[in-house]
Structure 1
Amino acid sequence: MDFVDLPAQTRDRTILELREFSRKLVRELGFMRNTLADSELSPSAVHAIIEIGLAPGLPARDLALLLRLDKSNTSRQLAKLEAAGLLRREAASDDGRSARLYLTEAGQKLRRKIDRFATDQVSGALRKLMPADQQTLVRSLSLYADALAQDNATRTAHAGSDGDGRIVEGYQPGCIGDVASLHARYYAASSGFGVYFERKVATELAAFAASLPAPGKALWLYVENGRTLASLAIDGDPAGGVAHLRWFIVDASLRGTGLGRRLLAKAVAFVDARFGETYLWTFKGLDAARHLYESFGFRLTGEAEGAQWGTVVVEQRFSRRADDTGGAGEAAEAGEAPR
């Protein structure tokens, strides 16, 4: 059979088709109705329940950024959820003006109901697709959602903040506790990890920070208003020519802003000038993070099941050679297992 090279579709046509598919998704997922996911809540309230459940202790100001809502709308939603007994607020220990959000027992029960509804909805649709098409769908939606997030972030990122966010190198006072907290909250929600995991992050990061400055080692932090909201470290062995990428995580409110890509680009430039190989450990299922790593040239080189974190997970090792070429991909950045 002859290969026919069809002409590329025009950009205008692609835009029209994506808009049409987006409208259909909004309708089929139920966003045109007053309530969502077989609950009595509005779509924005349902998403608030989901995000607070994923990150217990989420600052109220960060929820507005995450949901792309203005402060007044967010405040109204939180007041309704609090009045309904679905969430509670606690004053932040580091900022008395800020509240951290937690689901109540009733809120957790509702979140589980929403999760079951959404899982059944997605599962039913996936059964109509071939496995290969399912993976193509996941990758394509991930790329599209990340592209939208980058564009939206240029308009709304850090709304209401003091605007002093910056990437700094080296130890900063308070960074060990902040980074350990980011890991603990994220992995408690996603994988059920507990105190053993948080202690391991804190103790090993503290030992690493105490060794700085040192040849082949580097620590980058994103600091905003005195708080560390993202981190990435390179723990290299100059004699062996191998570097270990560690403690890579970005606060939920900043995912999709390009910050993870900027941190990883700094790390790649650092290791390429000093090491022949870089590796990292992560957990299976963190697909957005995997896409980011692969866009910088990392490739899966091994995986094994383990229970040392308190729950059974599949650990994955990704490696990258200095001569590998990687792009500047962007994803929801989190997922480097702190080994």
Structure 2
Amino acid sequence: MNLVDPSTEPRETTILELREFSRRLVRELGFMRPTLADSGLAPSAVHAILEIGARPGMNAKTLGSILLLDKSNTSRQVSKLESSGLVERKAASEDARSSNLYLTSAGQKIRKKIDRYASNQVSGALSRIIPADQQALVRSLALYVDALAQNKQVSTDTDNPADRAILEAYQPGCIGDIAGLHARFYSKHWGFGAFFEQKVATELASFTGSLPANGKALWTYSDNGRSLASIAIDGDDETGMAHLRWFIVDDSLRGSGIGRQLMTRAMKYADERFNETYLWTFKGLDAARHLYESFGFQLTDEEEGVQWGSRVTEQRFSRKLP
């Protein structure tokens, strides 16, 4: 869906301005230089170190997906970092034939140096911008990056491997996989414990046990039989409202577009059957909020609650039928 506001500047002007700002941003951040962030490393190597440091134990395939590199370029990048003593491979515990990537002690030092440089660079720029404009900048950049990713991922090719991996309805093992995704993510970021995981598993099991049913649907993204992302629509024909539930994407799929594909399917399903779709989330999940808002959801309610086992600020978003 292309959104055009006829009251704003001509589309051609906006395109030219964004292209100019993008070129200037690339130059100012130093991406045109042979090395980046005072690290002595090429920009691609810097990004690889940051990603491996953020999620130690990822494999080369996941790294390539995040950096948008093909298999051969990913292999060369990892080999260079290995030979420099910054990255090491360790046999995967679940399969000794595959290996996972970790930063060495030297790699950790470089990563800390890069983080300090980048934080100082951003901090210096923000000091010249008033706080209100800082927040507007963050939201605008998030929306722009998400729109770029959406544009790249949109395809009518029905033979897309990602499309084949998105399955509808209950799949064996999906209840445990989805509950586990929720438990790990919210334990790490919000301190939720067994109460939360039990609540997710119990309610999800009850929901999947009712399928197939009118106005209710579940989609999962699977890789080698494991569900790594999910979304569900739990609709009520009497009220004409649909509840979007259990939307989560594993960290290994960050930037892959899977979350947007799942949202697209769920919204198409809901819009064909209901007048309104709503969801509950927590304040602070900014990346998810930007995705919701890009699909037309608006914040309608906000309150503190403890129903998940910890005190959080719950937010309700609603989306009327377009």
Q: Distance in 2 between matches of 1:143 and 1:246?
A: 23
Question: What one-letter code is carried by the residue in structure 2 that aligns with 1:91?
Answer: A
Residues 267 and 14 of structure 1: CA distance in aligned 2, closer, same or farther (over 3 Å): closer
Residues 82 and 211 of structure 1: CA distance in aligned 2, closer, same or farther (over 3 Å): farther
Q: Which runs of structure 2 are paired with 1:16-165 in the superposition (5 Å)?
A: 16-82=16-82, 84=85, 86=87, 88-91=89-92, 93=94, 98-103=98-103, 111-153=111-153, 165=164
Q: Is the 8 A contact 1:170 1:219 kept in 2?
A: yes
Q: Distance in 2 between matches of 1:310 and 1:50?
A: 33
1:259, CA displacement in angstroms?
Answer: 4.0
Question: What one-letter code is carried by the residue in structure 1 that aligns with 2:148?
Answer: L
SS at match of 1:133: helix
Residues 168 and 136 of structure 1: CA distance in aligned 2, closer, same or farther (over 3 Å): same
1:64, CA displacement in angstroms?
Answer: 0.5
Deviations 1:21-72 (A, max 9, x none): 2232222212233443343543223222332344444332021021012223
1:235, CA displacement in angstroms?
Answer: 2.9
Partner of 1:300: 299
Residues 63 and 238 of structure 1: CA distance in aligned 2, closer, same or farther (over 3 Å): same
Q: Distance in 2 between matches of 1:34 and 1:173?
A: 49
Long gaps (5+) in structure 1: 326-339
Residues 81 and 246 of structure 1: CA distance in aligned 2, closer, same or farther (over 3 Å): farther
Q: Is the 8 A contact 2:178 2:227 kept in 1?
A: yes
Deviations 1:136-191 (A, max 9, x none): 43333233323433454479x9xxx96773432111123334434544565566x2
Q: Distance in 2 between matches of 1:234 and 1:81?
A: 44
Residues 312 and 163 of structure 1: CA distance in aligned 2, closer, same or farther (over 3 Å): closer
TM-score normalised per structure 1? 0.72
1:10, CA displacement in angstroms?
Answer: 6.5
Question: What one-letter code is carried by the residue in structure 2 that aligns with 1:208?
Answer: F
SS at match of 2:121: helix
TM-score normalised per structure 2? 0.75
SS at match of 2:39: coil
Q: Is the 8 A contact 1:52 1:101 kept in 2?
A: yes
Deviations 1:274-305 (A, max 9, x none): 55543222233333322321233322123345
Corresponding pairs, count: 312
Partner of 1:244: 243
Q: Distance in 2 between matches of 1:199 and 1:60?
A: 33
Q: Distance in 1 between matches of 2:180 and 2:81?
A: 25
Q: Is the 8 A contact 1:150 1:258 kept in 2?
A: yes
Q: Distance in 2 between matches of 1:150 and 1:253?
A: 18
Partner of 2:3: none
Q: Is the 8 A contact 1:280 1:318 kept in 2?
A: yes
Long gaps (5+) in structure 2: 1-5
Q: Which runs of structure 2 are paired with 1:163-312 in the superposition (5 Å)?
A: 165-183=164-182, 186-187=185-186, 191=189, 193=191, 196=194, 201-238=200-237, 242-252=241-251, 254=253, 258-305=257-304
1:198, CA displacement in angstroms?
Answer: 5.3
Question: What one-letter code is carried by the residue in structure 2 that aligns with 1:22?
Answer: S
SS at match of 1:222: strand
Residues 69 and 26 of structure 1: CA distance in aligned 2, closer, same or farther (over 3 Å): same
SS at match of 2:284: coil
Q: Is the 8 A contact 1:242 1:278 kept in 2?
A: yes
Question: What one-letter code is carried by the residue in structure 2 that aligns with 1:78?
Answer: V
1:91, CA displacement in angstroms?
Answer: 2.0
Q: Is the 8 A contact 1:91 1:99 kept in 2?
A: yes
SS at match of 2:265: helix
Higher RCO (C-alpha under 8 Å, 6+ residues apart): 1
Deviations 1:315-334 (A, max 9, x none): 3221234x4x2xxxxxxxxx
Sequence identity percentage: 64
Question: What one-letter code is carried by the residue in structure 2 that aligns with 1:268?
Answer: M
Q: Is the 8 A contact 2:192 2:310 kept in 1?
A: no
Deviations 1:76-111 (A, max 9, x none): 333444562555434263x66543445567656654
